[in-house]
Chains A and B, each alone.
Chain A
C-alpha cells in the first residue's frame, strides 16, 4: 500500500509537469473532437497522431495518445444523443435511448449523465488498473478462442432476450447483420467471400460506414421524408441538467456499467463494443420499467456509456502488465513506446515506472479534465439543435462523408455508407431496429474467428467448449437464459418478455 502511494506520488509528479499536463490536456481535447466527429474513431485518431509523437519523450507520447483513446469515449456519445449518429462504434447503443431523450427535449441530461458516467467509470477503472493490473492480466490471457466464443454466444442470447418489440424482426436484423459480416477474406483459407473482385472489401464492410449509414444517413433521410417538418427542439436552461430522479436512476447503471465494462474490456480483442450492448441488455433486464427502454430511458444511456469508458481502460491492463498488444488500439500505443526504444514486455511496469505511473496519474487528471470539458459543452452542443434543419442536416451529411472517407481514405467506404443509409431508411419505414444489425456486423467476424480457432485447437472436437472452465460457466449461463425463456411453457404466469410486450401494448392504447 505504502509502495503504491509512493509510486502514485511519482506518477503525479510526472503527469503534472507543465509539459505532460499540456499533452494530457491536448490528448483529451483531440479525443473529444475525434469522438464527436462521426466516422473518425479513436483508432483513426491515434493512428493519425502517432507520427507527431515521435519527437516527444515516451511518457508524454503515451499520455497524449491514451488521452485521445479515452477522450474519444466521452465524445462518442454526443452525436449519438443529438443526431442519432454514433461518433464511434462503441456508441451505437447510446443512439437508441439517448436520441429518444433528445427528441423529448432531454438532450442536456442525457449528455450530462453520459459525461458523469464516463467520469465515474474512467476513474474507477484507473483504480482497478493501478491496483490489479498484473493479476488481472494473467486472467485475461486465459481467455482463448473457446472462452471468447462462449462469451459471444451468451452475449447474443442476452441481446435476443432483452430486445423489445417484435422478436422475429430483431432476430432477422441480427441474422442480416451476421450475413453482411461474412463479407471479406476468410481468415482460415484466404478465400475472398462476397467481394465480387473488389479488393477493398477484403477486410469486410467495416463497422464505421455501416453504423454511420444505418443510423445517421437514414435519420437524415427520414427527417427529409416527413411531410410535416419537425419542430426544432428549443432547449430551456432548466432542461440542461439532469433532474434528481434521473440522477437517482443513473447511479446503479453507472456502477454496473463500470464494473462490467472493465471486466469485459480486459479480454483481448475489440471487447469495448461488446461491453456496451451487454450493459444495455443488463440494464433493461433489471429495470422496473423495461418498456421505457427505446423511448428515452436514462439507464440506457448511463449503462453503456459507463461501460465503454471502463472497457477502454480495461484494455490497457494486458497491454501495460504484459506488454502484449491485444487489439489494434493497444498495438498503436505500444508502437509509440517502441519507437523510443522501449520494448514493451512483462517487465514494463518494473523497468519503466515513470511511464506506467505517469500514465496512471495522467488518466486520473485526464478524466477530471474531460468532465470539466464536457459538462460546459453540454450547453453548447444542445444549442446545436437550434440550427434549422436545412442548414444542420447538409452539414451533418458532409461531416459523415468526410469522416467515413478519412478513416481509410477509401471511396468504397463512402459507398457502403450510402447504401447502408438507404437500407436503413427502408428498414425503419417498416419498423425494424438497426442496432441489432450493426451488432451482427461487428460480431460476425469475431464469432466466426473464435469458433474456428477453437475447433482448430481441438482438431474439430466440440468437447473443447466444455473442457475449459471459463467457457463452461458462460455456456451454463446461456443455458439458464434459454430455460428462463421456456419457463412459461411449464409454469403458468407470465415471463419477463411477455410482461414487457403487454406493458408496451398498454402504453400504445
Chain B
C-alpha cells in the first residue's frame, strides 16, 4: 500500500516537472517572431484538384521563405464546406491558412437562399493573396450544329430548355458560370448536374449533354484533338492559349464574367503583424521559379494580387456570384 502511494507521489512530481519544462520553451517562443513552428494550409478539396495543385507548389515555395515547414492538409466534404468551416473556426494565429477557390463566395449565398444557418461567413476570412485565375470556356461537341455563340443563343431561344449542359454539381462553378451566361443572353438551358468536373466532361464527350462551361486546361487537349470545339470564354479578355476565341463580354453579354480563381486566406482575427509576414512571403513565393514552372506545366495562369487589391477583386467577384446564385434561386 505504502509503495503504491509513494509511486503515485513520484509520478505526480515527474508530471509537474515535465509540465514546467514544457512551459519554458513556450514562454520563450512567445517573444520570437512568427513563424516558430510548422504552418498548416487547409485545402477544402481532394488531392489532385485545382486548389490542391496550386497549394502544394505554393507551400513548397513558402517553406523556403518562412524557414518553417508548410504542410498542406486536404479537409474535404460537402463541396468544400467542411474544410472552409474548419479553417473559419481555427485559431487565428497564422498557423492555419487556407487555399480556397471562387466557390468560397457561393456557399454563404446558397445557405441564405435555403434559410439555413451559414456554415461560415465570408467575413470569417482575411484575404492574403490571389494566386491564380482562369476564366471558364464554353465547350461543345465537334458535331454540334452551332458555329458561334449567336447560333447557340438563337437555337436556345427557339428551343428553350432543350439544350443540355453538364456541371460539376448544383451551385458549383460550372453551374453558376453557365447560368450567368444564360441569364445575360436571356435563354433557358437544361442543367444536368454530375458528381464532378471529370464526370461532367465525360458526359459531354459521350454526347449525353451538348455543352458545358469548363476549365481551359482540361478542355484544351480535347479541342486540340478535334473532339470538342470552343465557342467563347468568360474572361475579361481573351485567353492567351485561345487567341481566336471571343469573350462573352466582347459579344455583348456584359454580365457573363466568371473565373475559377484560387486565393490564400487566413482566419479573420489573425494579428496584422502575422498577416504582413504572410503577404510578403506569398509575394515572393508566387515569383519563385519552381512555383512558376509548376503553374506553367498545368497551364494555369498565375494572377497574383496582394491583400488589398485581392479584397477589392473578391468583393466584386462575390457580388457577381451572389447575383447569379440569387438568379438561379432554389432549384426544384
Q: List the B side residues contacting A334 at CB < 8 Å.
A: 48, 198
Interface residues on B, range: 35 or more
B297 lies within 8 A of A339 (CB): yes
When chains A and B are docked, how far (Å) is the Cα of A203 from the Cα of B79?
A: 8
A332 lies within 8 A of B79 (CB): no
B81 lies within 8 A of A330 (CB): no
Q: Of all chain A residues, which has the CB nearest B49? A: A335
B196 lies within 8 A of A47 (CB): no
Q: List the A side residues contacting B206 at CB < 8 Å.
A: 141-144
When chains A and B are docked, how far (Å) is the Cα of A346 from the Cα of B227?
A: 8
A466 at the interface (CB under 8 A from B): no
Q: List the A side residues contacting B299 at CB < 8 Å.
A: 343
B13 at the interface (CB under 8 A from A): no
A144 lies within 8 A of B222 (CB): no
A456 lies within 8 A of B190 (CB): yes
B192 lies within 8 A of A457 (CB): yes
A369 at the interface (CB under 8 A from B): no
Which B114-135 residues have a C-beta within 8 angstroms of A?
114, 116-117, 119
Contact with A along B321-332 (1 / 0, CB 8 A): 000000000111
Q: List the B side residues contacting A143 at CB < 8 Å.
A: 206
Known: A51-B47, A142-B206, A318-B202. A343 touches B77 (CB 8 A): no
Q: List the A side residues contacting B217 at CB < 8 Å.
A: 338, 343
A343 lies within 8 A of B161 (CB): no
Q: List the B side residues contacting A340 at CB < 8 Å.
A: 297
Q: Taking the nearest CB of chain A, how far is it from the CB of B257, in angstroms?
A: 23
A459 at the interface (CB under 8 A from B): yes
Contact of B202 among A189, A200, A326, A409 (CB under 8 A): A326
The total number of A-B Cβ pairs within 8 Å is: 158
B198 lies within 8 A of A326 (CB): yes
A126 at the interface (CB under 8 A from B): no
Q: List the B side residues contacting A201 at CB < 8 Å.
A: 78
Contact with B along A483-505 (1 / 0, CB 8 A): 00000000000000000000000
B77 lies within 8 A of A200 (CB): yes
Which A153-193 residues have a C-beta within 8 angstroms of B?
185-192
Q: List the A side residues contacting B205 at CB < 8 Å.
A: 141, 322, 324
When chains A and B are docked, how far (Å) is the Cα of A325 from the Cα of B214?
A: 14
Q: Taking the nearest CB of chain A, how far is it from the CB of B55, in angstroms?
A: 10
B331 lies within 8 A of A268 (CB): no
When chains A and B are docked, how far (Å) is the Cα of A81 from the Cα of B206?
A: 39
When chains A and B are docked, how far (Å) is the Cα of A185 from the Cα of B196?
A: 14
Contact of B331 among A185, A188, A197, A453 (CB under 8 A): A188
Contact of A199 among B53, B119, B193, B331 (CB under 8 A): B119
A199 lies within 8 A of B208 (CB): no
Known: A47-B46, A199-B78, A453-B193. A190 touches B110 (CB 8 A): yes
Known: A51-B72, A453-B194, A459-B190. A185 touches B78 (CB 8 A): yes
B56 lies within 8 A of A54 (CB): yes
Which A72-97 residues have a C-beta within 8 angstroms of B?
none
B298 at the interface (CB under 8 A from A): yes
Q: Of all chain B residues, which has the CB nearest A138? A: B206
When chains A and B are docked, how far (Å) is the Cα of A143 from the Cα of B192?
A: 15
When chains A and B are docked, how far (Å) is the Cα of A3 from the Cα of B290?
A: 39
Q: List the B side residues contacting A409 at CB < 8 Å.
A: 73, 75
A141 lies within 8 A of B74 (CB): no
A105 at the interface (CB under 8 A from B): no
When chains A and B are docked, how far (Å) is the Cα of A145 from the Cα of B47?
A: 26
B273 at the interface (CB under 8 A from A): no
A56 at the interface (CB under 8 A from B): no
B85 at the interface (CB under 8 A from A): yes
Q: List the B side residues contacting A47 at CB < 8 Å.
A: 46-48, 74
When chains A and B are docked, how far (Å) is the Cα of A341 from the Cα of B297?
A: 4
Q: Of all chain B residues, which has the CB nearest A345? A: B221
When chains A and B are docked, how far (Å) is the Cα of A341 from the Cα of B217?
A: 10
A408 at the interface (CB under 8 A from B): yes
Contact of A50 among B48, B162, B169, B196 (CB under 8 A): B48
Q: Taking the nearest CB of chain B, how far is it from the CB of A340, in angstroms?
A: 6
**Residue of B76, B77, B82, B207 most packed against chain A (CB within 10 A):** B77
A426 at the interface (CB under 8 A from B): no
B38 at the interface (CB under 8 A from A): no
Chain A residues with a Cβ closer than 8 Å to the other chain, count: 57
**Residue of A201, A340, A408 most packed against chain B (CB within 10 A):** A408
When chains A and B are docked, how far (Å) is the Cα of A200 from the Cα of B84?
A: 11
Contact with A along B4-23 (1 / 0, CB 8 A): 00000000000000000000
B260 at the interface (CB under 8 A from A): no
Q: List the A side residues contacting B194 at CB < 8 Å.
A: 449, 453
Contact of B78 among A141, A203, A268 (CB under 8 A): A203
Q: Of all chain B residues, which has the CB nearest A195? A: B78
A189 lies within 8 A of B198 (CB): no
Q: Taking the nearest CB of chain A, how far is it from the CB of B193, in angstroms?
A: 5
B82 lies within 8 A of A200 (CB): yes
When chains A and B are docked, how far (Å) is the Cα of A74 from the Cα of B284?
A: 46
Q: List the A side residues contacting B209 at CB < 8 Å.
A: 457
Contact with A along B131-171 (1 / 0, CB 8 A): 00000000000000000000000000000011010000111
**Residue of B52, B170, B202, B218 most packed against chain A (CB within 10 A):** B202
B77 lies within 8 A of A199 (CB): yes
B56 lies within 8 A of A51 (CB): yes
Q: List the B side residues contacting A408 at CB < 8 Å.
A: 75-77
B193 lies within 8 A of A187 (CB): yes
Q: Taking the nearest CB of chain A, how far is it from the CB of B81, in angstroms?
A: 5
B201 at the interface (CB under 8 A from A): yes
Q: Of all chain A residues, which has the CB nearest B116? A: A192
Q: List the A side residues contacting B77 at CB < 8 Å.
A: 199-200, 202-203, 408, 410
Q: Taking the nearest CB of chain A, how far is it from the CB of B113, in angstroms?
A: 8
When chains A and B are docked, how far (Å) is the Cα of A143 from the Cα of B199?
A: 12
Known: A141-B202, A326-B202. A202 touches B222 (CB 8 A): no
B225 at the interface (CB under 8 A from A): yes
Q: List the A side residues contacting B110 at CB < 8 Å.
A: 190
Q: Taking the nearest CB of chain B, how far is it from the CB of A440, in angstroms?
A: 19
Pick the 6 closest A-B CB pairs, nearest first: A345-B221, A202-B78, A335-B48, A341-B297, A325-B198, A141-B206
Residues of A in contact with B (beta carbons under 8 Å apart): 47-48, 50-51, 54, 141-145, 185-192, 197, 199-203, 268-269, 318, 322-328, 330-332, 334-336, 338-341, 343-347, 408-410, 449, 453, 456-457, 459
In the assembled complex, 18 residue pairs joining A and B whose CB atoms fall closer than 8 Å, in A order, are A48-B47, A51-B56, A54-B56, A190-B171, A199-B82, A202-B82, A203-B76, A269-B199, A322-B205, A331-B46, A334-B198, A338-B217, A339-B53, A341-B298, A343-B220, A345-B222, A346-B225, A408-B75
List 6 additional A-B contacts (Cβ < 8 Å) besides A187-B195, A200-B82, A456-B192: A323-B221, A327-B198, A335-B47, A335-B48, A343-B221, A457-B164
